[in-house]
Amino acid sequence: MKRIYAFEERCLGCKLCEVYCKTAHSKSKNIIKANKYENIESAIFIEEVIEKKSIVYFALQCRHCKNPKCVKACISGAMYKGEDGIVRNNSEKCVSCLSCVLVCPFGAIKVGKDGQTISKCDLCVNYGTSLCVDHCPNDAIKLIEENDDCFTKGRL
Amino acid sequence: MLREGKVRIPSGCSISGIIDKTGKRFNGKDIIKSIGLMHERSNGLGGGFAAYGIYPDYKDFYALHIFYDNLNIKKQTDNFLNTYFDIEYNEAIPTKSIPEILEQPIIWRYFVYPKNARLKDTRLSETDFIFKYIMIINRDYDGAYVFSSGKNMGAFKGVGYPEDIGEFYMLENYNAYMWTAHGRFPTNTPGWWGGAHPFTLLNWSIVHNGEISSYDTNRRFVEMYGYVCNLQTDTEVITYLFDLLVRKHHLSIKRTIQAIVAPFWDDIDAMADSKLKNELKYIRAVYSPALINGPFSIIVGFHGGMIALNDRIKLRPLVIAEYNSKVYVSSEESAIKIICNQPDRIWAPEGGEPVIVLLEETKKGASMI
Amino acid sequence: MSLDFDVPSFEILRNKNKCIQCKVCIRQCANMVHFYDKDDNIVCSNNVYCVNCHRCVTLCPTKALIVRKYPLEFRENANWNGAAIREIYKQAKSGGVLLSSMGTTKAFPIYWDKMLLNASQVTNPSIDPLREPMETKVLIGRKPNVIPFDDNDELKTTMPPQIELNIPIMFAGMSYGSISKNAHESLARAATELGTCYNTGEGGLHKDFYKYGNNTIVQVASGRFGVHKDYLNAGVGIEIKIGQGAKPGIGGHLPGKKVGEDVSLTRMIPIGSDAISPAPHHDIYSIEDLRQLIFSLKETTEYRKPIFVKIAAVHNAAAIASGIARAGADAIVIDGFRGGTGAAPTRIRDNVGIPIELALASIDQRLHEEGIRNCVSLIISGSIRNSSDIVKAIALGADAVYIGSAALIALGCHMCHSCSTGKCNWGIATQDPSLVKRLNPDIMYKRLINLITAWNHEIQEMLGGMGINAIDSLKGNRLMLRGIGLNEKELHILGIKHAGE
C-alpha cells in the first residue's frame, strides 16, 4: 500500500505541509479559516533536530502500522484499520481517552488544542489527493509504495 | 522603382531542359515549344534559354553576351575589353523584330581570350581571370551587363514570354546538344533584360524555379570568396555556389550536391555505412552555409551535362523523362509530352535527389562527377 | 554611530486577514526580514533587510504578502535621482566600491526588441515543424575552408573536433562557488538530457559531475581554479575566459565564506580563502600569448577538443575576434554588456562594454570580410531572454548562444540582484547548505529541460514560418531581419534593412 514518506534530505522545514494538512482536515476546507479559526492539529509534524552544523527537519506522521498499537489500545472502537490498510479514527465513536496517543511508538497521533480531539494522518484518501504532498515546495513528501524506485536508486 | 539588383525580387517560374546524351546537336524549336506550353507559369516579365555546343567555330574562345543600355556605355566597355582581352570576333546578336518584344537593349557578343601578358600579370587562372573582369564590368559599368561568358555556349534572354524571346533570338538557327529554358513570374519588377534567366557564369547556366529562404546565408558565404551578388537573385547565388564548390574548391558534382541539398541529420545518423556517414557529416559541417533552403527546382547546365535538382522536401515540381538518347526535364509533365509524346520512362525525382545527366563522352573520362 | 542615511528599498505589505501565522515566511527568509510577535500573535516584517526575492511571497500559502517599492521618494530631480543619491549614501558610509549582481539595470537599448523577423507568404511556403523535419542541430568547432578530396573522391583529411548540439543553446559558464552544487547538477543533467552543453565556469568541476563530461565545457579563467589535466580532458571542449560582459577588464572575487570543503576541494584552494581571479591572465598579455595558451590546451587534450575563447563585447571586439580566430581558437564566445554576474563593480557593470547585438553583427561581418567566418564558430551570450532573441542572434550570424540568467530564472532566480550576499533564498547563488537544499535538482533539471524544449519548439515555428527547415540556413541570414525605430548607423552596423524596405 502507498504511504506518505518524507525525505529529510529534501525537507526545508517550511512546514507548509502542516498548513495544508490542517486545511485538508478542516470543516471549512478554507485555508484561512481552517488555520485561523478551526481547532485542528496537523497530522504531519515537522520536528527540528539541531545538529552541529545544521538543522535536520524530520517529518512525523502515521506509519499505518501492520499491527497498529493504537487500534489495540482504543477503548471505544473508534480507531480501526480499514481493508485498504489505512488506520483511521472515527470521531463519532471517539471518547477522547487519548490511549492511542499514549501507545503510538512514533508519537504520530496528536491531541488538538482543546485536549479532546485527536488528529492523525489518513493519507487524505477521502480528498482525492494528499494536500501535504501536493504542496511541498521541494518534493520532500511523497505518497509512494514502500518498494518505490526512489528508495533503491538513491535519487529522490 | 528600383532596378533588379538594387532590390531583391522574388519570383516563381517554369523551367525546361533537353539534352542529347550522344552529343548530337538539335535546334531550339523543341525547347521553345516546351517552355511555351507553360505560358501560365510566367507573366511576360522574363524568359530565356541557355544552349551548349552552339559556337563550334569559336569553341576555344569565351563567348561574352552583353546587354548595353546605350552606345556610350558600349564604347567604354569595348575599351575595357580591348585592354584585357583579345577579341577574335564580335557582332550584334541577330534578332527578329516581333511585336511582343519591346524596348530591347543593344545585344552584342564577343569571342574573347585573355590577353596573354595580362593573364600572366594577374597570376590568375584563365577562368578566374574571366570571372574577375566580368565581375568588374557588371559592377562598375553601369548600363553594361555580361549575361553569358562560357565557351561554346550562350544564354539568350530578355523581358517577355519565353516563347517570344525564343522567336526574337531566332533560336531555330542554333544547334545545341543541350538546351535549358526559363519562364519567369517575378512578383514585381520594372523588367530588366539582365534580370531574366538563365543566369550564367563561365560554362555554368542555371534555370531555377523557386524562392530560396537561405538566400542571405548563401550570399554572404559566396561573397566571402570574392563573388559579388549584383542581381540579388536566387539563381545568381546558386550559380556562384556551384562555381565555388566545383571550380574553386574542386569538389565533385556528387560532393557539391551533398553540400547544397545535404541529407537531414536524422538520415545521416541512421546510415549504416560509417564511412559515408562520416563524409556527409563533414561536408554538412563545413558547407552548412552552402545548404540551399526553401522551395526550388533547378537545372544546372555545364559542358558535359546537366543536373536537375529539387529542394530537400520537394516544394517545387520537377519531372524527368527519357527517350532514346534524349533526357527531358521540366516543371510539368505536359511540357515534356508536347515534344516527346511517348517517353521510354517518365518520373518525378524525390526532394533532394539529384538527376545527373552526362554526355556519353563526358561519362567515360569524368573525374569531376 | 548608528546614523544610516539609507532607507529601505522595499516595503512588505501583509494582509492581516489572510495571514494565518504559519510562519513559513519567517522560516524561508535568509535575510531575517520576518519575525513573530508572540505578544500580539502576529507575524511582522522588517523592511530594511528585504531584497525582494519573492521567496516569502511565493511560498505564502494564503498569498498574504506583497512586496513593493518603498514609497519614500526624494524631491523630484531628473539629474540627482534617488538611485544616484542612495549610491552616495552607501559609499559615504562604506568607503568601498559599489557592488552589484546580475546584469545592468540601466535602460540601454535592447536591439533584439528593435528587430523584426520575416515569414513566408505565397511566393514561398512556410513549413510546418509538426509535419516536416525541422533541424536545429549545430556543430561547434573549427572548419576548414575547403574539404580536400583525392582523385578517387575520398576524404584526404579528417574533420577537426566538433561539439554536436541538438539545439543552439548552451548553459553559460557559472562557477561552482558562485552558484550551488545543486544548481550545477541541474544544469549538467539538463544539458545531458537535451543533448547540449553546460559550462563549468571558472571554479573547477566537482568530482560528482565528471560523469556529465560529454555535455560539459570546462573553463580556464585567469584564476586557474581547479584546472588540472583530468579537468581539461573531462569535457568536450575548453573555454578560455578572457572577459565577461558584465565586467569587462575586471577579475572575480569569491569571498572566503563561500569556500567550504567541497568548493575548496574543487577549486584546489584552502577552505575559507578568498578566490581571486586576476583581471588579466598573467600569461596572456598579447594575442600571441593567447595562441600559446590555446595550443598548450590543445596539446594537453591531444587536439581532440575544440578550444573556445570568451571575451566581453568591447569597442574593438571585431578586430579582437579576428585575432582570436587567427590565433587558433575553434570558437569565439562574445558576452554582451547586459550579461549577468554574481558580483561586479556597479560602475563597470553599467558603463563598460557594448550591446551584444552590435558586437555580434560587426564581428560576423568582419570575419566575413576577412574570409574566415566559416573557420570558427561564434557563440554569443549576454542577456538572451527568449527564443526570438536566439533566432535574431543566429540571423545576425551566431552559431549558438549561451544562456546564463535565463537558466537561473528557470531554476527560481527572481532577479533580486543579491547574489553577492551569499544568501540566495532560492538556493542558487549560495553555499549555505540549508539554502542550497531549496534547489532540488530532481525538480529543477526538468524545468530547464522544459524551458529549452519550449524554446526549441518556438525556434522551429519561427524557422518554419520563414520557410527554412535547417538552422544552418538561418545563420547570418540577415535578410530575415528588419529594424524598427533604428537610425541609419544602427541599421548599417547590424547589416539589416528597416521595416518596410
Segment B119-170, tens digit of pLDDT: 999 999 999 999 999 989 998 999 999 999 999 999 999 999 999 999 999 9
Alpha helices in chain A (DSSP H): 16-24, 31-36, 69-73, 99-103, 131-135, 149-152
Would you call A125 an interface residue with chain C, using a CB distance cutoff of 8 Å? no
For residues C190 and C84, state if they share a domain. Answer: no
Rounded Cα gap, residues C457 and C17, in angstroms:
44
Find out whether B6 and B234 touch, Cβ atoms under 8 Å: no
**Residue count of chain B:** 369
Beta carbon pairs, A and C, within 8 Å: 57
pLDDT of residue A59: 85
pLDDT of residue B2: 65
The answer, yes or no, to whether residue B13 has pLDDT greater than 90, is no
Instruction: List the one residue out of C344, C342, C347 whose CA is nearest residue C422.
Output: C342
What H or E segment, with its residue span, contains residue C446? helix C441-465
Find out whether B246 and B361 touch, Cβ atoms under 8 Å: no
Would you call A55 an interface residue with chain C, using a CB distance cutoff of 8 Å? yes
For residues C189 and C91, state if they share a domain. Answer: no
CA angle A40/A43/A48 to nearest 5° reads 110
In the Cβ-directed half-sphere of C44, how many Cα atoms lie within 13 Å?
Answer: 8
In a domain, C430, yes or no: yes
- The residue of A11, A14, A50 whose CB has the most chain C CBs within 10 angstroms, and thus the best one to mutate to test that interface, is A14
Rounded Cα gap, residues A115 and A131, in angstroms:
25
Q: What b/e string do you get for C393-426 counting C-beta neighbours within 10 Å, with b at 16 or more?
A: bbbbbbbbbbbbbbbbbbbbbbbbbbbbbbbbbb
C-alpha cell of A94?
471517539
Which residue has better confidence, A51 or C442? C442
The answer, yes or no, to whether residue B368 has pLDDT greater than 80, is no
Torsion of CA C476, C480, C485, C487, to 10 degrees: 40
Write down the pTM of the prediction: 0.93
pLDDT of residue A147: 82
Subunit partners of chain A (3 or more CB pairs within 8 A) = C
In a domain, A68, yes or no: no
In the Cβ-directed half-sphere of C372, how many Cα atoms lie within 13 Å?
Answer: 20
Rounded Cα gap, residues C212 and C171, in angstroms:
14
Domain finish residue from C96, C124, C157: C96
In a domain, C344, yes or no: yes
In the Cβ-directed half-sphere of C185, how many Cα atoms lie within 13 Å?
Answer: 15
Rounded Cα gap, residues C146 and B262, in angstroms:
16
For residues C67 and C181, state if they share a domain. Answer: no
List, for residues B263-303, the tens digit of each pLDDT value: 999 999 999 999 999 999 999 999 999 999 999 999 999 99
Alpha helices in B272-366 (DSSP H): 274-286, 333-337, 360-365
Number of domains in chain C: 2
Would you call B188 an interface residue with chain C, using a CB distance cutoff of 8 Å? no
Question: Per the CB < 8 Å rule, is A14 touching C28?
Answer: yes
pLDDT of residue B366: 53
Could you tell me the residue range of the domain that residue C38 belongs to?
10-96
- The residue of B7, B8, B213, B287 whose CB has the most chain C CBs within 10 angstroms, and thus the best one to mutate to test that interface, is B213
CA angle A132/A135/A136 to nearest 5° reads 80
Neighbours of C42 (CB within 10 A): 13
Would you call A10 an interface residue with chain C, using a CB distance cutoff of 8 Å? yes
Q: Give C135: exposed, middle or buried? Use CB within 10 Å, 0-12, 13-18, 19+.
A: buried
Domain finish residue from C66, C96, C126: C96
List, for residues B323-334, the tens digit of each pLDDT value: 999 999 999 999
Cβ neighbours of residue A93 closer than 8 Å, sequence gap 6 or more:
A76, A77, A78
For residues C84 and C177, state if they share a domain. Answer: no
pLDDT of residue C15: 95
CA angle C68/C59/A123 to nearest 5° reads 160
The answer, yes or no, to whether residue A156 has pLDDT greater than 60, is no
Q: Give C73: exposed, middle or buried? Use CB within 10 Å, 0-12, 13-18, 19+.
A: exposed
pLDDT of residue B309: 95
Give the mean pLDDT of chain B: 91
Backbone region of residue C406 per phi and psi (left: phi > 0; alpha: psi in -120 to 50; beta: other values): alpha
Give the mean pLDDT of chain C: 95
φ, ψ at B192 (rounded to 5°): -125, 135
Helix axes C441-465, C387-396, angle to 10 degrees: 50
In the Cβ-directed half-sphere of C446, how many Cα atoms lie within 13 Å?
Answer: 4
Please, which pLDDT band fits residue B362 given cuts at 50, 70 and 90?
confident
**Which residues from A are below 8 Å from C437, CB to CB?**
9-10, 12, 138
The answer, yes or no, to whether residue B217 has pLDDT greater than 70, is yes
- Mapped onto helix, strand or coil, the DSSP state of residue B333 is helix
Rounded Cα gap, residues B87 and B112, in angstroms:
4
| First-last CA distance in chain A | 19
In a domain, C117, yes or no: no
Rounded Cα gap, residues C6 and C87, in angstroms:
9
Find out whether A132 and A59 touch, Cβ atoms under 8 Å: no
CA angle B101/B106/B108 to nearest 5° reads 115
CB nearest to A15's CB, from C24, C438, C443: C24
Number of domains in chain A: 1
- For the question of residue B13 being annotated catalytic, the response is yes
Question: Per the CB < 8 Å rule, is C153 touching B252?
Answer: yes
For residues C184 and C49, state if they share a domain. Answer: no
Please, which pLDDT band fits residue B189 given cuts at 50, 70 and 90?
low
In a domain, A140, yes or no: yes
Rounded Cα gap, residues C16 and C42, in angstroms:
8
**Residue count of chain C:** 501
Task: Say which CATH number the domain at C54 has.
Answer: 3.30.70.20
For residues C473 and C335, state if they share a domain. Answer: yes
Domain finish residue from C96, C118, C151: C96
Task: Say which CATH number the domain at C463 has.
Answer: 3.20.20.70
- Mapped onto helix, strand or coil, the DSSP state of residue A48 is strand
Question: Per the CB < 8 Å rule, is C124 touching B295?
Answer: yes
SS (HEC) of C350-378 = HHCCCCHHHHHHHHHHHHHHCCCCCCCEE
Give the long-range contacts of residues B115-120, CB within 8 A, separation 24 or more. B115/B83, B115/B84, B115/B85, B115/B86, B118/B83, B118/B84
pLDDT of residue B37: 93
Find out whether C212 and C191 touch, Cβ atoms under 8 Å: yes
C-alpha cell of B211?
524562392
Q: Which residue of chain C has the CA closest to B288?
A: C472
Please, which pLDDT band fits residue B101 given cuts at 50, 70 and 90?
confident
List, for residues C36-64, the tens digit of each pLDDT value: 999 999 999 999 999 999 999 999 999 99
Task: Say which CATH number the domain at A142 has.
Answer: 3.30.70.20
Interface C:B, ≥3 CB–CB pairs < 8 Å: yes
pLDDT in tens, chain C (501 residues): 578 888 899 999 999 999 999 999 999 999 999 999 999 999 999 999 999 999 999 999 999 999 999 999 899 999 999 999 999 999 999 999 999 998 899 999 999 999 999 999 988 889 999 999 999 999 999 999 999 999 889 999 999 999 999 999 999 999 999 999 999 999 999 999 999 999 999 999 999 999 999 999 999 999 999 999 999 999 999 999 999 999 999 988 899 999 999 999 999 999 999 999 999 999 999 999 999 999 999 999 999 999 999 999 999 999 999 999 999 999 999 999 999 999 999 999 999 999 999 999 999 999 999 999 999 999 999 989 999 999 999 999 999 999 999 999 999 999 999 999 999 999 999 999 999 999 999 999 999 999 999 999 999 999 999 999 999 999 999 999 999 999 999 999 999 999 998
What is the Cα Rg of chain C in Å? 24
**Which residues from C are below 8 Å from A15, CB to CB?**
22-24, 27
In a domain, A70, yes or no: no
Which residue has better confidence, B3 or C431? C431
Closest-CA distance, A82 to chain C, in angstroms, reads 32
Torsion of CA C64, C68, C71, C77, to 10 degrees: -170
Rounded Cα gap, residues A68 and A77, in angstroms:
13
Beta carbon pairs, B and C, within 8 Å: 125
The answer, yes or no, to whether residue B1 has pLDDT greater than 70, is no
The residue-averaged pLDDT of B207-219 equals 92
pLDDT of residue A9: 87
CB nearest to B289's CB, from C146, C374, C469: C374
Question: Per the CB < 8 Å rule, is C468 touching B214?
Answer: yes
Please, which pLDDT band fits residue B5 given cuts at 50, 70 and 90?
low
User: What share of chain A has pLDDT > 70, as a percent?
Assistant: 97
Alpha helices in B261-351 (DSSP H): 265-269, 274-286, 333-337
For residues C345 and C486, state if they share a domain. Answer: yes
Find out whether B175 and B27 touch, Cβ atoms under 8 Å: yes
Find out whether C33 and C60 touch, Cβ atoms under 8 Å: no
Backbone region of residue B139 per phi and psi (left: phi > 0; alpha: psi in -120 to 50; beta: other values): alpha
Neighbours of C436 (CB within 10 A): 17
List, for residues C385-435, the tens digit of each pLDDT value: 999 999 999 999 999 999 999 999 999 999 999 999 999 999 999 999 999
Sheet holding B85-92, edge to edge: B85-92, B106-114, B62-68, B144-148
In a domain, A88, yes or no: no
Rounded Cα gap, residues C488 and C496, in angstroms:
10
Could you tell me the residue range of the domain that residue A145 belongs to?
3-61+121-152
Find out whether C355 and C336 touch, Cβ atoms under 8 Å: yes
Torsion of CA B4, B9, B15, B18, to 10 degrees: 40
The residue-averaged pLDDT of B75-83 equals 96
